[in-house]
């Protein structure tokens, strides 16, 4: 299957700082990528759709100014959590579609802990 990587795999930061998470498609190009968030013992929630060369589309209730998304190339999308607070601590996962059916393949996730 297609490979999607994320960096870093985990990060600890102080409250008020910004954190950038990278999502890369390693063996295919993706004009669209998706960002999800998962709190403990809960399911994945879609945050936004990242579009190469245009603005991201955010799901209802997700603050676009807090979660900045940049789809810089056909293999890279970044999510920046600005002015992070403890309630932003979560597991952030990206996915990218590929293949004839545009099946989504997921990255390994980034665990964020805000102190």
Partner 1 sequence: DAKTTQPPSMDCAEGRAANLPCNHSTISGNEYVYWYRQIHSQGPQYIIHGLKNNETNEMASLIITEDRKSSTLILPHATLRDTAVYYCIVRGTGTASKLTFGTGTRLQVTL
Residue numbers at the binding site for partner 1 (CB under 8 A): 1, 4, 6, 31-32, 34, 36, 43-46, 49, 91, 93, 95, 97, 101-109, 111
Label residue 7 exposed, middle or buried (CB < 10 Å: 0-12, 13-18, 19+). middle
Alpha-carbon gap, residue 67 to 53, rounded angstroms: 18
Name the minimum Å distance from CB 20 to partner 1: 18
Name the minimum Å distance from CB 59 to partner 1: 9
CB 98 within 8 A of CB 2: yes
For residues 82 and 89, which CB has a smaller minimum distance to partner 1 in the complex?
89
What Å distances lie between residue 55 and 35, 70, 74, 110, CA to CA? 14, 8, 14, 23
For residues 45 and 82, which CB has a smaller minimum distance to partner 1 in the complex?
45
Name the minimum Å distance from CB 77 to partner 1: 14
């Amino acid at each position: 299957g297609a490979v999607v990587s994320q960096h870093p795999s985990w990060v600890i930061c102080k409250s008020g700082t910004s954190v950038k998470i990278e999502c890369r498609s390693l063996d295919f190009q993706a004009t669209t990528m998706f960002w999800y968030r998962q709190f403990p013992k809960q399911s994945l929630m879609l945050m936004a759709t990242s579009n190469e060369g245009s603005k991201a589309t955010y799901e209802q209730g997700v603050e676009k100014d807090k979660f900045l998304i940049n789809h810089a190339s056909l293999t890279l999308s970044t999510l920046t959590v600005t002015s992070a607070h403890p309630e932003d601590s979560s597991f952030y996962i990206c996915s990218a579609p590929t293949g004839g059916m545009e099946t989504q393949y997921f990255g390994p996730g980034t665990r964020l802990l805000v102190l």
